[in-house]
Amino acid sequence: MLIHLSSWPEIDARLNAGQPLSRTVVVPIGSNEQHGPTGLLGTDWLCPEIIAHAAEQADETLTVAPTFNIGMAQHHLAFAGTISLRPSTFMAAITDWVSSLSRHGFERIYFLNGHGGNVATIEATFSEIYAEWSFVEEQPPFVLKLRNWWDLPGVHGLCSSIFPTGHGSHATPSEIAVTQAAYPDRIKTADYSPRIAPNGPIRDALDYRARFPDGRIGSDPAQASPEKGQRIIDAAVPALLKDVADFAGEVRP
């Protein structure tokens, strides 16, 4: 069930359905930021959306929230089209999503993340949210979990086997392949060099652009294809369903 294409009575019924996943919700979360010379700016929020929606197609008892499409992309701001929240803003927004979803009775909130640069702030936010309860000796009525889609069991290994060289860490062929599978009419090509982009530390936006002139880090995205993307999606869907089910079934200590 996709929340945004459902009515409130449908969500209400779901929450009270007494199924294993009834009170668990998946939030696709990512970023809108440059993805090298050929990648879509939306790559990092499209990937978790594509995988979560495919999982919901496979198992309708999965509840999927709207996509949280703008994250922490400070270091990409020197490339046109990037939109970033400051970490403090990102934290406030995630907090409000959690407050809203918890209000309705969702007890397990699972963030399926598509952007490595989001991880630190999302984890900091979980602590910020929990702190309100920890300072007063209470347990929150919800449990939060963050999972990067590439860390779903089996997915990372598959990506490595498909792209043994030039996978890199930004504008990777695997993430670009996933978007190609879903948006085949938006595939872009470009001459770029070197074939495999350099690596290095990530700092402010101008520093980033100087180190990584076309935006890629360590990657050769031309290896991507829609077929490869579909293979990744096909592996990610059951892994996500299993991971969410495990999370929903965890007994709180």
CB atoms inside a 10 Å sphere around CB 206: 11
Q: Which of 84, 148, 174, 223 binds its own copies (CB under 8 A)?
A: 84
- What is the Cβ-side half-sphere exposure of residue 152, based on CA atoms within 13 angstroms? 31
Q: Least distance to its own copies from the beta carbon of 8, Å?
A: 4
Span of 87-95, 107-115, 155-163, 223-231 interacting with its own copies by CB under 8 A: 87-95
Interface with its own copies includes 34 (CB under 8 A)? yes
- Output 34 or 235, the one with its CB closest to its own copies: 34
With CB under 8 A as the contact rule, the residue among 52, 91, 155, 233 that binds its own copies is 91
Give the list of residues 6+ apart from residue 165 with CB closer than 8 angstroms, or none. Answer: 196, 220
The residue type at 30: G
Which residues between 155 and 214 bind its own copies (CB under 8 A)?
A: 183, 186, 188, 190, 203-207, 210-211
Q: What is the DSSP letter of 30?
A: -
Q: Taking a C-beta distance cutoff of 8 angstroms, is the pair 45, 68 a contact?
A: yes
Q: Which is nearer to its own copies, 58 or 206 (CB)?
A: 206
Beta bridge partners of 111: 27, 146
At 214 the three-state DSSP class reads coil
Which region among 53-61, 115-123, 148-156, 225-233 touches its own copies (by CB under 8 A)? 115-123
Closest approach, Cβ 171 to its own copies, in A, equals 10
Decide if 85 contacts 94 (C-beta within 8 A).
no
Which one among 22, 24, 38, 172 touches its own copies, defined by CB under 8 A? Answer: 38
Residue 215 and residue 35 in contact, taking contact as beta carbons nearer than 8 Å? yes
Q: How far is the CB of 196 from its own copies (least distance, A)?
A: 18
**127 interacts with its own copies by CB under 8 A:** yes
